[in-house]
Amino acid sequence: MIVVLIIACEVGFWVLLALGLALRYLAKMPRTGAAVLLMEPLLELILLIVTAIDLKNGAPADWKHGLAALYIGFTVAYGHYTIKWVDGHFAHRFAGGPKPAKPGYGMARFKHEGKLWLRTVVMAVVACGLLQAAIWYVGDGGDTSSLHEWQGTALKVVSIHGVIALSYLVWQKKDPRGRTAAQGEAARPEQKTLR
């Protein structure tokens, strides 16, 4: 049941996102669209409550509960970023908004990747915190080895993403137009926000 709920939360996330942006830009109802987008966190709250109830009812702590914790952590860390990214592209495509800026090259790209890595750290902290709470909740009477393994998985994800982010510092991609980062910023037109 937990896996089905995780899938439903993911589908629900994208459905609410599409509906909120369609109301905001296509139907010209920005407040209603914003209200729909604000419903997104309810999905994770429902998943958290159902997972806790599942453990309370005596279900053995296994990979499904670990996956739920990682999913909630990912949504906390990347949910707003994803909404903002999709919002920018949707506004550009359907509402005449400015073209979303790309991460850039050189140090600008490394800084962008570093910020994404920090989001992954937040994801791991939230997931490991939820997993630890579940371990304490189950107590000594139950097998929590799967939850400990998921904590290790979260830390591995942080390490792997950290290496990937560092690769952008070591092997910096150069702008194919031959401009420096400062020249690229100067050449970029002023972007207006739609908020």
Reported as a single tens digit per residue, the pLDDT across 165-185 is: 999 999 988 888 776 544 444
pLDDT at 138: 84
pLDDT at 176: 81
What is the dihedral angle through the alpha carbons of 153, 159, 165, 169, rounded to the nearest 10 degrees? -170
CB atoms within 10 A of CB 157: 18
pTM, full prediction: 0.83
CA dihedral of residues 132, 136, 138, 139 (deg, nearest 10): 140
Give pLDDT, residue 186: 43
Q: How confident is the model at residue 139 (pLDDT cuts 50, 70, 90)?
A: confident
Q: Quick one: average pLDDT of 51-79? A: 91
Q: What mean pLDDT do residues 150-166 have? A: 97
Q: What is the mean pLDDT of residues 6-25?
A: 94
Predicted pLDDT at 140? 74
Looking at residue 152, its pLDDT comes to 96
Q: In a 3-state reduction of DSSP, which class is residue 16?
A: helix
pLDDT at 185: 47
For the chain, the average pLDDT equals 88
Q: Where are the alpha helices (DSSP H) in 60-188?
A: 63-94, 106-138, 145-170, 181-187
Residue-wise pLDDT tens digits, 77-135: 999 999 999 999 999 998 888 999 888 899 999 999 999 999 999 999 999 999 999 99
Q: What is the mean pLDDT of residues 61-70?
A: 92
Percent of the chain with pLDDT over 90: 70
pLDDT of residue 142: 77
Write the DSSP symbol of residue 104. -
Task: Indicate whether 158 pLDDT > 60.
Answer: yes
CB-neighbour burial class of residue 82 (10 A; exposed 0-12, middle 13-18, buried 19+): middle
